[in-house]
Structure 1
Amino acid sequence: MKSAYFIKPGKVEIRNFSKPEIEESTDVIIKIVRACVCGSDLWWFRGITKREPGVIGHEAIGIIESIGNTVHNFKVGDFVIVPFTHGCGQCAICKAGFEANCPNATEAVSGGYQGEYYRAINADGALVKIPGKPSDYSENQLASLTTLSDVMPTGFHAAKAAGVKNKDTVVIFGDGGVGLCAVIGAKLLGAKRIIMMSRHSDRTALALEFGATDIIKERDEAAVKQVLLLTKGLGADAVLECAGTKSSVETAMQVARAGANIGRVGVPHEVDYNPYMTNLFFRNIGLTGGGASVSRWDKEILLNAVLNGEINPGKVFTHTYELDDVEQAYKDMDERRTIKSLLRISEG
């Protein structure tokens, strides 16, 4: 089988591997139909975050080809979302809705989704069944279903962590796939005003299509002034931090109104929270969020919202690539020639 392999910053290639096999009774083997490149992958592709060489990718949908003997919720031939989380679904943490932190999941199998086959652990707890088969869906629908493996639930998780509620004013930092999906998430939860921080025309256009009401192009102190101007000097009811950069995190902590929550899902890089913690304390501002509860949000709201056409997050994929062109898929995201890269692996 073929799979994408990270060599060094800026260099990804396709290599041949043995097809994975069932190792534990809770495993399934999945034939990948669609996969994609995540914005978080760009940290190591750019050399900002260190990563050892190895198979890559953590977002996909596919067909179950073989199954462990203690898997009860799925059968061979099922069409499934393959989340980046691997929660068992049975421990106290999973039952509380935080399967990204499941103690029974292993990091060792978190790569390899950008390949023809994948061994998924904790299948009963982690996977989400999609009705029917891939051929029942259009290319646009398959794209939206692919977002349910990470980017859409992560954007929604930011909105939930921030406590977005009906008629809220929300500010979103990060105009990549996650930030754009956070617009959808905030709208699903009833936000009345959604302020998107973006200076790129293709992303601002999509943010507006998804439900953003205002666009702020400024950064840092100038951005703070603009948010306060739009919120009568009070700040936003909820702040969604979806980038993880020093600038976005520090600005996010300055635009929340007293009593608001900041929902953060961008992996923080070079951020020093200490100068802001006292201010957050005295203004009763909450700082929460982390790895998304993918299976939970898919099952509770997002899969049905995609199936009934209420949301179309697949529009974040502005270019589709064959698996053999995976390095170009990374380069085009890195150089902002596409918002998010979709990989067409098979037809199921």
Structure 2
Amino acid sequence: MRAAVYHAPGDIRVEEVPKPELESPTDAIVRVTHTAVCGSDLWFYRGQSDRESPSRVGHEPMGVVEAVGDAVRSVEPGDRVFAPFVVSCGQCEFCRKGLHTSCVDGDSWSGENGGAQGEYVRAPHADGTLVRMPDRYADDEDVLRSILPLTDVMGTGHHAAVSAGVEAGSTCVVVGDGAVGLCGVAAARRLGAERIVAAGHHEDRLEMAEAMGATDTVSARGEDAIEEIRDLTNGGANHVLECVGAASSMETAVEVARPGGTVGYVGVPHGLDGGLDLYDFFGKNVSLAGGVAPVRAYADDLLADVLQGTLDPSPVFTKTVDLDGVPEGYAAMDEREAVKVLVEVDA
């Protein structure tokens, strides 16, 4: 089969690799039809995080079940499914708590599991990981495009909103205008927020944020952004979604939080080598909650909203490529020519 393989910073190649096979009674093999390039993929692409070379990449698979092990009960060959960005058993202490990303037997999609930016993946713990879609939507490309972000960015943006305590009538601030930040806006609207301020640096993305539910946008930087957000929110917001992971974005988040408020953070931490200054959190009694998003815990509820037409995160896909175009997709996201890249796989 063909799959995208990381060789070095800036060097992604689509190559022939071994097709994964069933290894356990709880496994399923999924023929990937749709996947994506994630903002978190850019950290190793830019050489800002370590990664084994060569290694298969991708963690947002959607496709059709091709084969299942004898113990699999929730899906069968021919079912259309999608999967969160990590594998989880669904039965351990942490999965039962809704913390699937801490599964005691969790796994990734790379390596011998196939790499989700490829033609096939092996899904260990298929019953705990795969989310089956109703048959009537199996060939509806518009619906599939709306569901694909549930593998990662929509669930992650939702985790930021939940962690920040957003509820009906809330005023909240979303820091970051990437795919996760835009999904955070959609999540805050879904939870009933009355005022949603989206802060970022790209006017086209902030226009997307407005279309996805933001009531106000801020494109200024540094102290100017903080001052503008405080003016818009009468001194700050009780609920702040930090969707970048950089030191500067975390500093902005705490600065625009009202005393006693909560910052829900989901950005993969980078640039925090010197540590996070907790004084402002301490002095303002601001809570910090969040972390890596347990997407599987939210998948069923979010899927229901997509299928009934009340949630559509598909606008985050601003570029579409085929499997051979994955390297081009990485370059486009690296150069900020695309918010998020959809990969249509022709297996």
Q: Same fold (TM over 0.5)?
A: yes
- 2:314 corresponding residue in structure 1: 314
1:309-329 CA-partner distances (Å, limit 9, x unpaired): 111111110111010111001
1:158 touches 1:242 (CA, 8 Å); kept in 2?
A: yes
Tell me, what secondary structure is at the counterpart of 1:166? coil
2:164 touches 2:263 (CA, 8 Å); kept in 1?
A: yes
- Structure 2's unaligned 5+ residue stretches are none
- 1:44 corresponding residue in structure 2: 44
2:247 touches 2:271 (CA, 8 Å); kept in 1?
A: yes
My pick for the range that moved more, 110-119 or 248-257, is 110-119
1:72-119 CA-partner distances (Å, limit 9, x unpaired): 111111111121121111111111111011111134747700000001
- 1:339 corresponding residue in structure 2: 339
Structure 1 residue 135 displacement after superposition: 4.8
**Using the alignment, how far apart are the partners of 1:40 and 1:167 within structure 2?**
32
Tell me, what secondary structure is at the counterpart of 2:135? coil
Structure 1 residue 199 displacement after superposition: 2.4
Tell me, what secondary structure is at the counterpart of 1:292? coil
Instruction: Determine which of 200, 203, 224 is the counterpart of 1:201.
Output: 203
2:85 touches 2:109 (CA, 8 Å); kept in 1?
A: no
1:233-255 CA-partner distances (Å, limit 9, x unpaired): 2x111110111112111111211
Tell me, what secondary structure is at the counterpart of 2:20? coil
Tell me, what secondary structure is at the counterpart of 2:197? strand
My pick for the range that moved more, 140-149 or 27-36, is 140-149
CA gap 1:275/1:106 in 2 versus in 1, 3 angstroms: closer
2:27 touches 2:123 (CA, 8 Å); kept in 1?
A: yes
Calculate the aligned-residue CA RMSD, in Å.
Answer: 1.6
- 2:16 corresponding residue in structure 1: 16
- 2:302 corresponding residue in structure 1: 302
Structure 1 residue 265 displacement after superposition: 0.7
- 2:70 corresponding residue in structure 1: 69
- 1:279 corresponding residue in structure 2: 280
- 2:61 corresponding residue in structure 1: 60
Instruction: Determine which of 172, 191, 194 is the counterpart of 2:193.
Output: 191
1:249 touches 1:271 (CA, 8 Å); kept in 2?
A: no
2:86 touches 2:107 (CA, 8 Å); kept in 1?
A: no
- 2:144 corresponding residue in structure 1: 142
2:201 touches 2:219 (CA, 8 Å); kept in 1?
A: yes
Tell me, what secondary structure is at the counterpart of 1:26? coil
Tell me, what secondary structure is at the counterpart of 1:148? helix
- Structure 1's unaligned 5+ residue stretches are none
Alignment pair present for 1:161 and 2:140? no
Structure 1 residue 151 displacement after superposition: 0.9
Alignment pair present for 1:130 and 2:133? yes
* Residue type at the aligned position of 1:156: H
Instruction: Determine which of 110, 116, 135 is the counterpart of 1:113.
Output: 116
2:87 touches 2:109 (CA, 8 Å); kept in 1?
A: no
1:118-165 CA-partner distances (Å, limit 9, x unpaired): 01111111111111166531x322211111111110110110111101
Tell me, what secondary structure is at the counterpart of 2:38? coil
**Using the alignment, how far apart are the partners of 2:86 and 2:166 within structure 1?**
23
- 1:329 corresponding residue in structure 2: 329
Alignment pair present for 1:252 and 2:253? yes
Q: Alignment identity in percent?
A: 44
* Residue type at the aligned position of 1:183: V
CA gap 1:9/1:63 in 2 versus in 1, 3 angstroms: same
CA gap 1:100/1:220 in 2 versus in 1, 3 angstroms: same
* Residue type at the aligned position of 2:125: N
**Using the alignment, how far apart are the partners of 2:136 and 2:322 within structure 1?**
20
**Using the alignment, how far apart are the partners of 1:302 and 1:275 within structure 2?**
32
2:29 touches 2:122 (CA, 8 Å); kept in 1?
A: yes
2:179 touches 2:316 (CA, 8 Å); kept in 1?
A: yes
1:54-83 CA-partner distances (Å, limit 9, x unpaired): 100000211110111111111111111121
**Using the alignment, how far apart are the partners of 2:139 and 2:293 within structure 1?**
28
1:275-297 CA-partner distances (Å, limit 9, x unpaired): 63233123221111111121211
CA gap 1:106/1:157 in 2 versus in 1, 3 angstroms: same
**Using the alignment, how far apart are the partners of 1:342 and 1:51 within structure 2?**
23
My pick for the range that moved more, 103-112 or 40-49, is 103-112
* Residue type at the aligned position of 1:25: P
- 1:225 corresponding residue in structure 2: 227
Aligned residues: 344
* Residue type at the aligned position of 2:93: A
